[in-house]
Amino acid sequence: MKMTPDSSYKRRQYLVDPAYQLQFVSRVFMIVLAVAVVSLAVSSVLLSKNLYEPDLRSQTPLITSLVAIATMMLIELLVAIPLVFLLSIRQSHRVVGPMNRMKRMLDRIGEGDFSQRITLRKGDVLEELGKAMNRMAETLQRRYPSSPSPKSPSSPAS
């Protein structure tokens, strides 16, 4: 399959390299979870410190506020978990998807098919690298015009 710069490319799957992408997501998730746990621990310490004071009547507004904060943090965490998961998958896909396609292109160039080109969507993380790879392939194709190009219609039949 020859990819030309003018052909459009639409991604069909978000888990291109599941092992890498899920590892990336789990690391991001662990960071978010660690921040949430530290925040919850600080809130709990403040809350428990004030709960054991002898005069609870004067502390009621503070205790109520701390309970409300802890409850909101729990709700925010429950909302943040799926959002972090989806955004992490999407972000990792923006790197892994183009890298996977670049690897296939380089494999074909390594086999002698210098007609290979890669098309990346505008704004892809590796767009500049893809352009450099296309320039390299064009230079190789000009430098070695007689090399066999299995998918190039202009090459002579073997």
The pair of three-digit structure tokens given for residue 61, joined into one six-digit string: 């507004």
Phi, psi (5° rounding) for residue 127? Answer: -60, -45
Rounded to whole angstroms, how far apart are CA atoms 111 and 57?
A: 80
**Range 21-59 burial, b when 16+ CB lie within 10 A, else e:** bbebbeebbeebeeebeeeeeebeebbeeeeeeeeeeeb
* 27 is a domain residue: yes
Domain that holds residue 67: 18-143
* 116 is a domain residue: yes
Q: Is 131 within 8 Å of 115 (Cβ atoms)?
A: no
Q: What is the model's pLDDT at position 123? A: 74
* 122 is a domain residue: yes
* 102 is a domain residue: yes
* 45 is a domain residue: yes
Our count of domains for the chain comes to 1
Q: Tens digit of pLDDT per residue, the chain (158 long)?
A: 344 444 455 556 777 778 888 888 888 888 888 888 887 788 777 777 666 666 666 667 777 777 788 788 888 888 888 888 888 888 887 788 888 889 999 999 999 888 889 988 877 778 888 999 999 999 999 988 865 545 544 434 33
